[in-house]
A and B are shown apart, each in its own frame.
Chain A
Amino acid sequence: METIGDLIIAKYNYWAVIALLIIGLYAMIAKNNLVKKIIGMNIFQTAIILFYISIGSKKGATIPIIVHGHGESSHVVHAADYINPLPHVLMLTAIVVSVATLGVALALAMKIYSQYGTLEEDEISEKIMESETA
């Protein structure tokens, strides 16, 4: 019989991820400042990374490094003893790539600031309209 407590323990990782995802998405849609939008994008990426890492975990398993891999006696490796390495691999590269894309996003924001003198989205679109009519 499944109680509410069991349900919370089994699912709260997803709920934390969903909370982060909402915060990031809201920041990307509603915030007016471009740097705040970039921060929202980063929170969104963090949510996805946590989601992948949490689906890789197994109860009672250890980190995916084979114990006594080069020991004297060869022994059989059971998949249930080690957590899923695949999400870790994918997120390892994703974290570094997200840093690199963050750099590009900030570079674009800097360029926009030097062009328009502001990072507020509505002021930028106003200035673009002005330059088109002029």
Chain B
Amino acid sequence: MKALGLVAAFCLGGLLFYISFDFPGWGDAKSPASKHVSPYYIEHTMEDTSVPNIVTAVLADYRGYDTLFETAVIFSAGLACFFLLRIPEHKAPAARFYRHLATGITFRIEKGGRLPDDTKEFERIDSVWVPYDVIINMTCRLVVPFIQLFALYVIAHGHHSPGGGFQGGVIFGAAIILFAISNNLRRTLKQMSEQTSALLGSLGVIIYAGTGMLCVLLGAGFLNYGALKSFFGVDPVAARSHSILMVEIGVGIAVTAVMVWIYYNLSSTGKQDEGL
């Protein structure tokens, strides 16, 4: 199998190497890829949408359908991870472990037993407890809010600089995942529960599709943002710019929530206990 794989891979590689001589050179401005649709996008983006970042304009406006369904694909990936891995806790386990935060003593609570009501002093742990590294813990705690702020900047500033919903959403999700890695999953689930991430994931897709449907209700084609001029109270070109921001926010919410949701299920094999 190994030899066969090597032969197959090198056959394909040799074929592609042979073909590469017919390809346009690197940086060739007259290459077929840059000749047909892209000049239209570059030259007309400003007058059509008034968005200087052509990538954002093409992503959310000219190729809006593509991006809508990419967002739906990401959401279904989150759903697929959920359905494959999630194990709901049907019955309480026989014994649970709690750690007293002030003294570090671990309690074993047998089935039926319960802690005093003020459980803020205790933290539920799994049977093996690994002490936190103070440096890592504090550094991540300090860094996470700034990463989240930067993510919001990337989403909001996608019209004028490299950025947009996908990039900002991934950065925001990464900040939450960093929090989950440096602390533990249970504490993260208290901040952002699984229900929240699932709801936000679908909300993001709904915002995108809802923007498209609003255009239909106002008498234009699906995702034809020019129709939203009365909704925003501006001229059609500015309406396109505003709708692109709305759509990007939807994409950002969906991507954030789904990244976090996938991490929740992968890191704890669907049990959603302490995680990594």
Contact = CB atoms under 8 A, between A and B. Distances in A.
Given A93-B166, A97-B70, A107-B81, A18 B13 contact: yes
A100 B262 contact: yes
B106 interface: no
A66 B52 CA distance: 5
A15 B20 CA distance: 8
Interface residues of A, number: 58
Interface string A57-68: 111110111100
B94 interface: no
Contacts of B189: none
Contacts of A25: 5, 8-9, 12
Contact of A21 (B4, B12, B31, B45): B12
Nearest to B67: A93
Interface string B159-170: 011101011011
Contact of A84 (B38, B45, B85): B38
A61 to B, nearest CB: 7
Contacts of B59: 89, 92-93
Question: From DSSP, what is the main secondary structure of chain B's interface residues?
Answer: helix
A86 interface: yes
Interface in A75-125: 77-80, 82-89, 92-93, 95-97, 99-101, 103-104, 106-108, 110-111, 114
A92 B166 contact: yes
B119 interface: no
Residue in A12, A14, A61, A95 whose Cβ sees the most chain B Cβ within 10 Å: A14
Contacts of B43: 77-79
Given A10-B25, A22-B10, A58-B28, A82 B255 contact: no
A101 B67 CA distance: 16
Nearest to B2: A30
B92 to A, nearest CB: 22
Given A30-B2, A70-B52, A87-B33, A107 B9 contact: no
A5 interface: no
Interface in B250-276: 255, 258-259, 262, 265-266, 269
B6 interface: yes
A103 B262 contact: yes
A37 to B, nearest CB: 11
Residue in B9, B16, B164 whose Cβ sees the most chain A Cβ within 10 Å: B9
A34 B165 CA distance: 32
Interface of A: 7, 9-15, 18-19, 21-22, 25-26, 29-30, 54-61, 63-66, 69-70, 77-80, 82-89, 92-93, 95-97, 99-101, 103-104, 106-108, 110-111, 114
Given A26-B6, A100-B74, 18 more contacts: A10-B26, A14-B20, A18-B16, A22-B12, A30-B6, A58-B34, A61-B29, A66-B53, A79-B34, A80-B29, A82-B54, A86-B33, A86-B58, A89-B55, A100-B73, A104-B77, A107-B80, A108-B84
Counting from the closest, the 6 A-B pairs by CB-CB distance are A69-B52, A10-B25, A30-B5, A100-B77, A29-B5, A79-B39
